[in-house]
Structure 1
Amino acid sequence: MLTYIKESIEELRTNITLPARAEATNLMVIVAVFSILFALATWGVDSLFSKLITFYFDNVINN
C-alpha cells in the first residue's frame, strides 16, 4: 500500500499538467452551463411527474 501511495504521488508530480488559466475558465463555464441545463431538465421532469401523480390520485383513484 505504501508503494502505491509513493508511486501515485510521483505520478502526480511528473505526469500531470494543469491547463492554462484561460482554458480552465472556459471549461468551468461549460460545466456551469451544462449543470444549469441539467438542473432545469430535472426540475421539468419532476414537475411533470408531480402533476401526473396529482392528476392520477385526484381523478382516477377518487372516481
Structure 2
Amino acid sequence: MNPAGRDIEHARRALEHLAVLRRHVERHGLDDEVSIDAVCLRLASSIEAASRLSDGARDDAFGTS
C-alpha cells in the first residue's frame, strides 16, 4: 500500500474508534468503572492509530508543533 493509502487507513481507524467511543458514552454514560475503562481504551486506540500517520498528514490534520 502506498503512503497516502496507509494514512487514509490510519485516519479511518482513528475515526472509527472515536465513533465507537461516542456511541458507548451515549448509551452507557460514564457512571461506572467499566464504562470509563471502555472509553479510555477506545481513546487510546484512536490516539495510537493517529500516531501512525505520516508527519505530513499529521501536520495537515493537527497543525505543526
Greater helix share, structure number: 1
TM-score normalized by structure 1?
Answer: 0.44
Q: Work out which of the two has the higher radius of gyration on C-alpha atoms and give 1 or 2.
A: 1
By relative contact order (CA 8 Å, sep 6+), the higher-ranking structure is 2
